[in-house]
Amino acid sequence: MLFGRLLKACLISMLCVGLFTPFVFVQASTYPLQTKYPDIMIYKANTKQKVIALTFDDGPDRRFTPQVLDVLNKHRVKATFFLLGTRVHEYPDVAKRIHNEGHVLGNHTYWHPQLTNSSVNNMLWEIEKNEKEIKSATNFETKLFRAPYGALNDNLVKELGELGYLGVGWSIDTEDWKSLSSKEIKQNILNNVHPGAIILMHSAGHWTQDLSGTAKALDEIIPYLKKQGYEFLTIPEIFKYNMHAPEEMK
Ligand code: ZN
């Protein structure tokens, strides 16, 4: 009887350890790659200041990127654009416009592959190929990188560090790529907004994707958040607010 009880208690405690260990781990490090590589990765700035960064992936294009730029200009906000090499090749003038209007450019690979499915060398090729496109279109060299789908692992992050890149994730996903309405996009931001947030949006996509909700949502969300005391920064600017930022960047 006693043995039975002991066995039961033992089983329960094993089960609890099994259940709670991963839970505690997830709680302690919401962004494990940022925790592990604070000089190489950022998903949000660890700050209490009301600073926020808008980021736009997959551009440039002629359909939605100009709309997004017009709204950002209207509200005098600077953002960060993670450009796709194939599209920079196709629309170098739009890439140049983004740069000329004072926004920050980042590298989002050439072909948009899931990098965790291939070798470190493949990531190198993707980065370098896009680096050349961005340089030739804008004469600007970026050291910011965002992986397609945010898919990275230890080896890839270490390589980014070797290359001197800062890997950029996000803490708020607007899911605008699902062709959401401006109302839904706004809600996705407002439900999750926090100091130091990095917001993921898109300024271009597949021809079947309607991103008109993105520009419309921005036009409303920017003045609203400004009224709440938020300041919009680029990724290099918000990185300086991150308590883990290297001293020379502060
Ligand atoms: Zn993308």
Q: What is the pLDDT of residues 13-66, one digit of tens each?
A: 444 444 444 443 333 348 999 999 999 999 999 999 999 999 999 999 999 999
Cα 56 to middle of ligand 1, angstroms = 9
Catalytic residue among 99, 103, 108, 202: 202
d(CA 147, CA 112): 8
Q: Is the dihedral of CA 205, 211, 215, 218 positive or negative?
A: negative
Catalytic residue among 57, 58, 61, 176: 57
Q: Which pLDDT score is estimated for 185?
A: 97
pLDDT (average), residues 155-181? 97
Task: List residues, by chain if needed, whose CB lies under 5 Å from ion ligand 1.
Answer: 57-58, 148
pLDDT (average), residues 87-107? 98
- Give the Cβ contact number of residue 74 at 10 Å: 12
Cα 187 to middle of ligand 1, angstroms = 22
Cα 140 to middle of ligand 1, angstroms = 20
Q: Among residues of the chain, what percentage have pLDDT more than 90?
A: 83
Cα 55 to middle of ligand 1, angstroms = 11
- CA distances, 233 to each of 9, 138, 214 (Å): 53, 21, 18
Residue 4, pLDDT > 90, answer no
Cα 202 to middle of ligand 1, angstroms = 8
The answer to whether residue 210 is catalytic is no
Cα 248 to middle of ligand 1, angstroms = 30
d(CA 211, CA 202): 8
The answer to whether residue 89 is catalytic is no
Instruction: Summarize pLDDT for 192-223 with one digit per residue, the tens.
Output: 999 999 999 999 999 899 999 999 999 999 99
Contact 199, 237 (CB under 8 A): no
User: Is it true that the peptide bond before 32 is cis, omega within 30 degrees of 0?
Assistant: no
Cα 205 to middle of ligand 1, angstroms = 8
Residue 231, pLDDT > 60, answer yes
Q: Which pLDDT score is estimated for 242?
A: 85
pTM of the model: 0.86
Q: Which pLDDT score is estimated for 126?
A: 98
Cα 162 to middle of ligand 1, angstroms = 23
Instruction: Give Cβ neighbours of residue 148 (< 8 Å, ≥ 6 apart).
Output: 108, 109, 112, 113, 114, 115
Helix (H) or strand (E) holding 222: helix 212-227
Instruction: Summarize pLDDT for 112-147 with one digit per residue, the tens.
Output: 999 999 999 999 999 999 999 999 999 999 999 999
Contact 208, 183 (CB under 8 A): no
